[in-house]
Structure 1
Amino acid sequence: MSKSRHVAGSVMSGLVIAFMLFDAGMKLVPLDVVINATAELGYPPSADLARALGVVALACTALYGLPRTAVLGAILLTAYMGGTVAVHLRVGNPLFSHMLFGVYLAGLAWGGLYLRDSRVAALLPLRSPPVEV
């Protein structure tokens, strides 16, 4: 695996981790904007609910950030992001800015993992293997 590929994957994964830490931190505090946004999405305006979501987001992010559990973390982050897509679909939020944001983030997470872990790249070959003559 080339060094530039590993660096690109690490940068992509770092962006996902940074966003998720920011998001989890806002939920753990919890800020009023988080409680209000939760209510706008049709859930009870509860600090306990926001904290619980923050703990789940933090746990998924921690698993993704550790090399040994990165694949499990990516799976759990993808599930978490699937929930965000469903919530935004249910309330009728805009497609590209809100509803698909979870898809973008999950794609970035898997792309980063694909580039930095040759085992994941071997499971998902995006090109044909070279033909031997």
Structure 2
Amino acid sequence: MTVIAETLPASRPARWAGRILSGLVIVFLMFDGAIKLVPWPIVTETMDKMGYGSSEMLARSLGFITIVCTVLYAIPPTSVLGAILLTGYLGGAIASHVRIDSPLFTHTLFGLYLGLMVWGGLWLRDPNLRRLIPSRR
């Protein structure tokens, strides 16, 4: 017989771990979005190397999208929507790195690492998500 765990509210340490994990993602993505809004030369140079040209308008648009999705993720009532949108955004980043044959573990999979942190942090802090995706013991 399989016992489904985590249908009750998470333990206090689990909630805090989720908040810390989510907080790290939020800080990183807000910084990432902000440097694209400026945009710093390193941003446009990197976009050019990835085949998107050095368009400041595109950089600003991506920065705006990053910040909006991250803010949605940070606000509890819209956090699942934010996580879904960030998953799509990070998937596009992974696809871009695959296309230019970036190093696998450091560049290509970085979006996967962030995505796991997005959903892991949310799962630890949101009892509704734990009921939807329960852990099994």
TM-score bucket (shorter structure): over 0.9
- Among 33, 36, 41, the residue aligned to 2:50: 41
Task: Give the whole-Å Cα distance in 2 for the aligned partners of 1:3 and 1:69.
Answer: 22
Letter of the structure 2 residue corresponding to residue 66 of structure 1: I
Q: By how many angstroms is 1:16 displaced?
A: 0.5
The counterpart of 2:128, out of the listed 88, 113, 119, is: 119
Unaligned runs of 5+ in 1: 129-133
Partner of 2:65: 56
**2:82 is the alignment partner of 1:66:** no
- Please state how far the C-alpha of 1:126 moved relative to its aligned partner: 1.8
Q: Is 1:99 the equivalent of 2:104?
A: no
CA distance in 2, matches of 1:2, 1:82: 31
Q: Distance in 2 between matches of 1:49 and 1:3?
A: 42
**Is there any run of 5+ residues in structure 2 with no aligned partner, and where?**
1-9
RMSD: 0.6
The structural deviation recorded for 1:115 is 0.2
Q: Structure 2 counterpart of 1:46, which letter?
A: S
Structure-2 residue corresponding to 1:131: none
Which structure is richer in relative contact order (CA contacts within 8 A, separation 6 or more)? 2
Output one character per residue of 1:84-121: Cα deviation in whole Å (capped at 9) or x when no partner: 00000000001100000000001000000000001001
Q: Which of 36, 46, 49 is equivalent to 1:27? A: 36
Percent sequence identity is: 49
Deviation at 1:44, TM superposition (A): 1.4
Question: Which residue does the alignment assign to 1:16?
Answer: 25
Deviation digits for residues 56-106 of structure 1, max 9, x if unmatched?
000100000000000000000000000000000000001100000000001
Q: How far, CA to CA, are the matches of 1:126 and 1:85 in structure 2?
A: 27
